[in-house]
């Protein structure tokens, strides 16, 4: 049995990183501001290749871009301008804010603690305006740095055990996550954040790809070691988490000729010293795939997870039609997005909630979601202020397009408690919790299923953000007391695990 198949590792990581009322008090953590990590990875010896910084307007409505995808196999490839667009709108700096300790560079996608531990690398063949190579994206300078010259796509293709989208993609974006940049604040729970923060970024990237007419697919099945070798990252510090195949060309990449030699490039240290949380490295190692065969066997065939049909009142969604829906283009919505810091306790409409849920959950093109439309996470809601929907706890039935009521009541205080005793989930109009039935997921995918379930939650969460902002509502991701969330939604949620939380409502200080 390979290490990935023994899911004890994922269970122990999940258990050990649960938040509870007592865990937060028993182990308070204070951030060491004198040792704060740099928000960017910097290769000081490599030249910068500036990206064109004019934001091309696709004009495609955000609510379409998040809910549709370009059919696989559609011939299309990005040029340099499209590359710039994709990078800016997924990981670029969209806002800056000065504070007493310096400046925060806010980025296009939401990220826990604004710590931005996700790095992007491009692996491409010759594109219009960009030569074949392996590049690192430097958001601070809105530039690329070339790590390798030449076409290395074959190496990625081999690592994925010949994944079809990777085989024909002129460009694949490799997303890596850097432990220390996020663990400085969140300690060992950071490995969960890798999925969340990589996911919100991918939600933007996939939506922008759709708006640009590019087929796109998120890929999680790859031989980790080979991807690390290609990027020459130190896997004790930085690990590949997902790939995004973008575009489609008929020809397969040329066979690899060049040896993948170590680059030994200098990078600027993130901090004076780094604190190691071995639990995360153990989780990563235990969910790694060791061969192309393992990668090939990993993808597809998503398990059916337990979702009992409720014998309770059901409220059909009241989603807006295409003609009624707000048409703000995806680039405008991404540029005005920013996590709500204070919600007004004013209601949203059932149509707004329905549209957000419907558009965000129409399917994610990913190698672990098969057939298309399969989903690992289930959505549970606490409704506080939605016109036409009595306050209470609900589950979202995607296939039926309905909400089923679990219990009625005013649960603002409960929601505030569940969301780590913050005001945001108590003040929001609705809190959307993601819960997953982990045993069948681990049975099918092994420990790596834990990466997939967190990543899917991040992607869906990122789409919920965009769906809300497209309708001029506010949203924020939140963290939570794991077991209390499951208890709150039980008996329906018994046996499930809490994965993610997004709150939606009217921002007290509206943006845009």
Beta-carbon count within 10 A of 30 CB: 6
Residue choice 38, 42, 72, 114 for contact with ligand FMN (CB under 6 A): 114
Number of residues engaging ligand FMN in binding (CB under 6 A): 17
- Residue (279 or 475) nearer to ligand FMN, CB: 475
Q: Whose Cβ is closer to ligand FMN: residue 325's or residue 418's?
A: 418
CA distances from 422 to 86, 172, 180, 478, 479 (A): 34, 38, 25, 9, 9
Q: Give the pairing of strands 386-387 and 348-349.
A: parallel
Beta carbon nearer to ligand FMN, 106 or 307:
106
**Closer residue to ligand FMN, CB minimum distance, 355 or 479:** 479
Residue 24 or 149: the one with the smaller Cβ distance to ligand FMN is 24
- The DSSP element (H or E) to which 502 belongs, if any, is strand 497-507
**CA proximity to 379, closest of 227, 485, 271, 226:** 485
| Residue 507 binding ligand FMN, by CB under 6 A | no
Candidates 62, 93, 111, 156; binder of ligand FMN (CB under 6 A) is: 111
Name which of 110 and 246 has its Cβ closer to ligand FMN: 110
Binding window for ligand FMN (CB under 6 A); candidates: 106-114, 210-218, 293-301, 361-369:
106-114
Q: Specify the residue, 183 or 405, whose C-beta has the smaller distance to ligand FMN.
A: 183
Residues in the chain: 512
- By three-state DSSP, how is residue 421 classified? coil
Nearest approach in angstroms of CB 477 to ligand FMN is 3
Burial of residue 323, with CB atoms counted within 10 A of its CB: 0-12 exposed, 13-18 middle, 19 or more buried: exposed
- Shortest distance, position 420 Cβ to ligand FMN, whole Å: 6
- The least distance separating ligand FMN from the CB of residue 217, rounded to whole angstroms, comes to 22
Instruction: Give, as ranges, the residues between 408 and 427 that touch ligand FMN (CB under 6 A).
Output: 420, 422, 424
C-beta closer to ligand FMN: residue 114 or 263: 114
Given a contact cutoff of 8 angstroms between Cβ atoms, the answer to whether 10 and 287 are in contact is: yes
Of 431 and 437, the one with the shorter C-beta distance to ligand FMN is: 431
Query: Minimal CA–CA distance to 406: which of 309, 306, 479, 505?
Result: 309
- Give least dist CB 226 to ligand FMN, A: 29
> What one-character DSSP code corresponds to residue 321?
P
Residues with Cβ < 8 Å from 429, sequence gap 6 or more?
343, 346, 347, 348, 353, 383, 384, 385, 386, 473, 504, 505, 506
Nearest residue to ligand FMN by CB is 477
- Site mask, ligand FMN, residues 366-385, x = CB under 6 A? --------------------
CB of residue 196 vs ligand FMN: minimum separation in angstroms? 4
Our finding on whether 339 is near ligand FMN (CB under 6 A) is yes
128 vs 421, which CB is nearer to ligand FMN?
Answer: 421
Q: Least separation, in Å, of the C-beta of 485 and ligand FMN? A: 13
C-alpha distances (whole Å) from 195 to each of 158, 188, 281 are 24, 13, 15
204 counts as binding ligand FMN under rule CB under 6 A = no
Q: Supply the minimum distance, in Å, between the C-beta of residue 427 and ligand FMN.
A: 12
ω into 132 cis (within 30 of 0): no
Q: How far is CA 60 from CA 56, 110, 203, 307, 459, in A?
A: 11, 21, 15, 34, 19
Q: Exposed (0-12), middle (13-18) or buried (19+): which is 469, by Cβ within 10 Å?
A: buried
H-only helix segments in 112-266: 153-159, 164-168, 179-186, 190-211, 224-231
Least separation in angstroms between CB 209 and ligand FMN: 20
The DSSP code sequence of 2-70 is -GGG-THHHHHHHHHT---HHHHHHS-----GGGPPPSS---TTSPPEEPP--------BHHHHTT--P
Integer Cα distance of 153 and 155 in angstroms: 5
- The footprint of ligand FMN on residues 262-291 (CB under 6 A) is none
Helix (H, G, I), strand (E, B) or coil at 104: strand
- Alpha-carbon 472 to chain mean position: 22
Per-residue mark of binding to ligand FMN, 450-489 (x: CB under 6 A): --------------------------xxxx----------
Instruction: Give the CA angle between residues 173, 239, 268 to the nearest 5°.
Output: 90
Nearest-approach distance from CB 193 to ligand FMN, in angstroms: 7
Q: Is 77 in the site for ligand FMN (CB under 6 A)?
A: no
Q: How far is the CB of 112 from ligand FMN (least distance, A)?
A: 5
Q: Shortest gap between Cβ of 434 and ligand FMN (angstroms)?
A: 10
Residue 96 or residue 308: which is nearer to ligand FMN going by CB?
96
Candidates 17, 143, 155, 200; binder of ligand FMN (CB under 6 A) is 200
Whole-number minimum distance, CB 30 to ligand FMN, in Å? 17
Note whether 35 binds ligand FMN by CB under 6 A: no
Rg (CA), the chain: 22
In the list 4, 69, 112, 361, the residue contacting ligand FMN (rule: CB under 6 A) is 112
Token pair recorded at residue 416: 């505030």
338 binds ligand FMN (CB under 6 A): yes
Residues near ligand FMN (CB under 6 A) are: 106, 110-114, 196, 200, 338-339, 420, 422, 424, 476-479
């Amino acid at each position: 049995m390979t290490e990935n198949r023994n899911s004890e590792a994922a269970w122990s990581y999940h258990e050990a990183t649960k938040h509870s009322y007592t865990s937060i008090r028993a182990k308070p953590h204070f951030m060491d501001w004198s040792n704060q990590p740099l928000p960017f990875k910097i290769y000081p010896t490599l030249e910068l290749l500036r990206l064109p910084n004019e934001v091309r307007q696709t004009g495609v409505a955000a609510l379409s871009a998040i809910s549709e995808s370009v059919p696989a196999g559609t011939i299309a490839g990005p040029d340099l301008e499209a590359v710039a667009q994709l990078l800016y709108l997924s990981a670029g700096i969209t806002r800056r804010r000065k504070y007493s300790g310096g400046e925060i560079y806010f980025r296009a996608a939401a990220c826990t603690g604004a710590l931005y531990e996700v790095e992007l690398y491009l692996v491409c063949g010759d594109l219009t305006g960009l030569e074949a190579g392996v590049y690192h994206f430097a958001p601070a300078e809105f530039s690329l740095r070339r790590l390798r010259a030449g076409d290395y796509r074959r190496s990625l293709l081999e690592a994925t055990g010949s994944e079809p989208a990777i085989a024909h993609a002129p460009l694949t974006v490799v997303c890596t996550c850097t432990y220390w940049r996020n663990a400085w604040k969140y300690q060992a729970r950071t490995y969960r954040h890798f999925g969340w923060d990589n996911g919100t970024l991918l939600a933007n990237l996939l939506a922008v790809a759709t708006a640009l007419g590019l087929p796109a697919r998120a890929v999680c099945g790859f031989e980790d070691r080979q991807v690390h070798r290609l990027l020459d990252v130190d896997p004790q510090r930085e690990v590949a988490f997902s790939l995004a195949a973008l575009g489609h060309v008929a020809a397969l990449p040329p066979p690899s000729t060049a040896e993948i030699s170590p680059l030994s490039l200098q990078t600027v240290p993130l901090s004076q010293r780094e604190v190691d949380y071995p639990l995360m490295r153990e989780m990563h190692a235990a969910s790694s795939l060791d061969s192309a065969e393992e990668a090939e066997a990993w993808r597809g065939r998503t398990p059916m997870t337990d979702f009992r049909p409720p014998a309770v009142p059901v409220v059909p969604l009241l989603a807006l039609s295409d003609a009624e829906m707000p048409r703000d283009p995806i680039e405008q919505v991404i540029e005005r997005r920013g996590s709500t810091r204070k919600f007004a306790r004013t209601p949203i409409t059932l149509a707004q909630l329905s549209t957000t849920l419907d558009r965000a959950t129409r399917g994610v093109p990913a190698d672990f979601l098969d057939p298309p439309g399969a989903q690992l996470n289930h959505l549970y809601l606490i409704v506080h202020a939605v016109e036409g929907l009595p306050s209470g706890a609900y589950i979202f039935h995607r296939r039926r397009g309905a909400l089923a009521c679990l219990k009625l009541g005013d649960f603002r205080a409960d929601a505030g408690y569940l969301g780590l005793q913050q005001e945001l989930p108590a003040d929001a109009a609705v809190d959307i919790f993601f819960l997953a039935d982990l045993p069948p997921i681990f049975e099918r995918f092994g420990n790596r299923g834990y990466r997939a379930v967190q990543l899917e939650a991040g992607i869906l969460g990122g789409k919920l953000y965009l769906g809300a902002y497209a309708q001029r509502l506010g949203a924020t991701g939140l963290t939570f007391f794991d077991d209390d969330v499951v208890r709150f939604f039980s008996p329906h949620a018994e046996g499930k695990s809490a994965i993610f939380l997004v709150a939606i409502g009217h921002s007290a200080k509206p943006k845009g």
